[in-house]
Amino acid sequence: MRLVLIGPPGAGKGTQAARLAEAYSVPAISTGDIFRANVKGETALGKRAQEYMSVGALVPDEVTNAMVKDRLGHDDLDAGFLLDGYPRNPEQAVELDGMLAELGVALDAVLEITAGTEEVTKRLLNRARLEGRVDDTEDVIRKRLEVYVESTTPVTAFYDGRGILVRVDGIGDVDHVTSRILAALDAR
């Protein structure tokens, strides 16, 4: 299973990615997690990424694309993979096409998890209290949501045009959303 997960910040991508990775026995690759690990490890990549993440902007494409290309080159992806948080703009989607073509594989589906602005803002502010993620402040959340609408929404249209977009409502409890996703992917 080669799957891309798209959804606004707070839609539950990370949570569902972990469950889907288990269901399909494939690694979940989260660009946000890789960036956060680099920030924590104070690597050069982390220092560069943090400038953008802390204000809710996208990390420059050349940095992100190179990082994903490197990850997709590892030899643990024969059974597939689940990409969480990439591609996040149309340029990255084109870049991903090139990487996959080089690897001789194709995406099976692109899953969009939907959730309204009010709901995701509430969830993110709640997560801020529980986890203290630095980009979960009200201003930065607003910016991340803007970036999502402007840059990432066109990516769903790109894959919809290709006939591989699966849209699932992300409202409801976590188990229900997982069942909904698995059913929608099964029904393709």
How many Å apart are CA 148 and CA 72, to the nearest integer? Answer: 24
Q: Does residue 176 sit in helix, strand or coil?
A: helix
Q: Which is nearer to ligand ADP, 35 or 159 (CB)?
A: 35
Half-sphere exposure of 159 (CA within 13 A, CB side): 29
Is 158 an interacting residue with respect to ligand ADP (CB under 6 A)?
A: no
Q: Quick one: which of 3, 17, 59, 166 contacts ligand ADP (CB under 6 A)?
A: 59
Is 88 an active-site residue?
yes
Which candidate in 2, 36, 71, 88 is catalytic? 88
Q: Quick one: which of 45, 53, 110, 177 contacts ligand ADP (CB under 6 A)?
A: 53
Contact present, 77 and 143 (Cβ < 8 Å)? no
Q: Quick one: which of 6, 17, 58, 72 contacts ligand ADP (CB under 6 A)?
A: 58
How many Å apart are CA 141 and CA 121, to the nearest integer? Answer: 7
Binding-residue pattern over the window 68 to 107 for ligand ADP, x denoting contact by CB under 6 A? -----------------xx-x---x---------------
The continuous run of DSSP H or E covering 5 comes out as strand 2-6
* Cα angle: 93, vertex 99, 100; to 5 degrees: 90
Chain residues binding ligand ADP by CB under 6 A are 9-10, 31-32, 35, 52-53, 56-59, 64, 85-86, 88, 92, 135, 144
Q: Which residues are catalytic?
A: 13, 88, 127, 133, 144
